Amino acid sequence: MARRGIVGLLALLVVVVLGAAPALACGGLVGPGGTVQLARTTTLASYHQGVEHYLTSFTYSGGGAKFGSIVPLPGVPTDVRKGGEWTLQRLIRETQPQLEAAAAPVAFAADARSKAEVLLTARVDALDITVLRGGGKAVGDWARERGFGLSVDAPAVLDFYAARSPIFMAASFDARTASARGQRLGDGTPIQLTIPTADAWVPLRILGLGHQPSDAIQADLYLLTDRRPALLPEPAAAGQPGVALERSQPASELLLADLRADKGMSWVPASGMWLSYLRIDTTAGRLFHDLAVDTSGRGSPSPVAAGLVDPTEPLRPLPAPTPPAGGPAPVWPWLAAALAGATIATVVALRARARAS
Amino acid sequence: MRPRPWHLAAVAALTLAGGLTLLHAAAGQATQTVVVTMHHSRFQPEVVRVAPGTTVRFLLRNTDPIDHEFILGDDAVQRRHEQGRQREHHGEVPGEVSVAAGGQAATTYTFPRGGPASLQFACHLPGHYAYGMRGVAVVSSG
């Protein structure tokens, strides 16, 4: 039965780009030297009647470079479009006295095909969106071949997500196009994805992509669900470091009405939704897991969905190395000595016999 | 003086023993192959044991979607590459080779007798060494 659960989403990740530095997505930006600029962005992951609605924003931060992000998704989107103009800001206003907010990631299931399959493409302002199906290496190859710069931890992180979901969204941002469109520094392009899914989780580990273990990771995550969700790992209390549950309350009808009024947000019900706000304030080294969300009422979020349990068998055995130098003990010296000894013994015996005769 | 049979036999035995010893010496110099896999930006195995005087052909297999390199040498070599700008190694230098994403490459290195007890191998592409992409070749006859 379909897990009623939740939400999911956010994520973000990133990878990116050669060339320079200047723009960033709602997750992270990895430059050619492996350096990362991470902006605190806001993402809404909502699950309503078996459909996930994921809303995040890619922010133009100037410069002339091209960059991209890869976001793991829990399923194949049926729709990708420009998101509403004020939903994210409205959520921030609902839960925080000041602004700024978060970002995060998502994903589900394994795919061993060697090449990534393009499932969907879309153009939203200066963003080229591509939804891919493939394993971690296939998606990594696809990204690399298109100029995305992959950080040193990308192979492990992409495999981590691909083991649960082979669906990824790649967003390529062309800063020159953004500039030509008149987008100003700090302007964001909200993207909304509609994803039918029976399972839900929010990728958090991906926020640390390209970061040193001690690097700070900050993000805000909103969940809008049909009922109060059970979360795994259990979040910390409000105000605590880590992944803290700052707000957990019924969504007010006023909030829902405001959200419904935004572009593309007509799916938001008039009432009966639960709003959760999680603030992520930790380090990349501690963010080795995701967030599983269960709104079924059973209160049993999946450890696999949380990224705490490997869904695959034990890692496939790697090619055994050829035995290193050294090898078995050589027999040539012993053979040579034995032959020489036997020959000499024979000679001595013959000589003795000759003398005797 | 006419050579006696045992003289001939002794000479034959010594010649045979000498020949076998030379064969042994030649066999000891044969190149051995060690396969090292690059996976998730790590070397597998991370420790390789090598006998002094051995010539080893390292066969590097990169299963990652990103490029890597294999640089074998002492601390000075590792420092030079970590701080240097050279990012392509085509195998001209023994023990140094670049390995493209998903590809494989090989490099051959002779561990001298009387050399250091261990050498490090590592990848010095940006951020890879700090990430932990390094291993050790232990040179020991034991």
pLDDT tens digits, B60-114: 999 999 999 999 999 999 999 998 766 677 778 999 999 999 999 999 999 999 9
> According to the model, what pLDDT value does residue B1 have?
52
> According to the model, what pLDDT value does residue A111 have?
53
> According to the model, what pLDDT value does residue B26 have?
46
Q: How far apart are CA A165 and CA A352, in angstroms?
A: 86
> According to the model, what pLDDT value does residue A334 have?
53
Contact status of B17 with chain A (Cβ, < 8 Å): yes
* Cα-based torsion angle of the residue sequence A158, A162, A167, A170 in order, rounded to the nearest 10 degrees: 10
User: Average pLDDT over chain A, rounded to whole?
Assistant: 73
Q: How far apart are CA A334 and CA A35, in angstroms?
A: 60
- Of A36-40, A133-137, B21-25, give the lowest mean pLDDT range: A36-40
Tens-digit pLDDT profile for residues A298-355: 899 989 889 998 887 544 433 333 333 333 444 445 555 666 666 666 766 777 777 7
All residues at 6 or more sequence positions from A24 whose CB lies less than 8 Å from its CB, including other chains: A37, A38, A39, A59, A61, A67
> Is residue A51 over pLDDT 50?
yes
Tens-digit pLDDT profile for residues A58-77: 765 544 455 677 888 888 88
> According to the model, what pLDDT value does residue A340 have?
64
Q: How far apart are CA A9 and CA A53, in angstroms?
A: 8
- Locate A37 and state its tokens: 């600029």
Q: How far apart are CA B96 and CA B92, in angstroms?
A: 8
Closest CA of chain B from A198, distance in Å: 30
Tens-digit pLDDT profile for residues A66-108: 567 788 888 888 888 887 766 777 777 677 653 333 333 333 3
Q: Where are the domains of chain A?
A: 29-294, 329-357
DSSP string, A92-124: HHHH-SS-----B---------SSPEEEEEEEE
Q: How far apart are CA A108 and CA A163, in angstroms?
A: 7
CB A324 to CB B61 under 8 A?
no
A window 178-237, beta carbon within 8 A of B: 212
Nearest to A144 among B56, B66, B111 (CB): B66
Closest CA of chain B from A340, distance in Å: 5
Give the three-state DSSP class for B13.
helix
Nearest to A44 by CA among A232, A300, A255: A255
> According to the model, what pLDDT value does residue A55 have?
81
Looking at residues A259-269, what average pLDDT do you find? 90
Q: How far apart are CA B93 and CA A271, in angstroms?
A: 70
Nearest to B24 among A212, A318, A332 (CB): A332
Angle formed by the axes of helices B5-28 and A332-356, to 10°?
A: 180
> Is residue A54 over pLDDT 90?
no
Instruction: Determine contact, residues B13/A344, Cβ cutoff 8 Å.
Output: yes
> Is residue B125 over pLDDT 70?
yes
- Of A46-50, A101-105, A209-213, give the lowest mean pLDDT range: A101-105
- Locate B128 and state its tokens: 């890879």
B47 contacts in chain A (CB < 8 Å): none
Closest CA of chain B from A70, distance in Å: 14
Residue type, position A327, single letter: G
Alpha helices in A55-192 (DSSP H): 87-95, 136-145, 154-162, 175-180
> According to the model, what pLDDT value does residue A78 have?
86
> Is residue A182 over pLDDT 90?
no
> According to the model, what pLDDT value does residue A316 have?
41
Contact status of B31 with chain A (Cβ, < 8 Å): no
A326 contacts in chain B (CB < 8 Å): 49-51, 54, 141
Residue type, position A52, single letter: E
- Locate A13 and state its tokens: 């990740």
What percentage of residues in chain A have a pLDDT greater than 90? 29
Give the three-state DSSP class for A255.
helix
What percentage of residues in chain A have a pLDDT greater than 70? 66
> According to the model, what pLDDT value does residue A231 have?
95
Nearest to A332 among B20, B54, B64 (CB): B20
Q: A168 burial class (0-12, 13-18, 19+ CB within 10 angstroms)?
A: buried
pLDDT bin (cut points 50, 70, 90) of residue A193 is confident
**Helix (H), strand (E) counts: chain A:** 6, 16
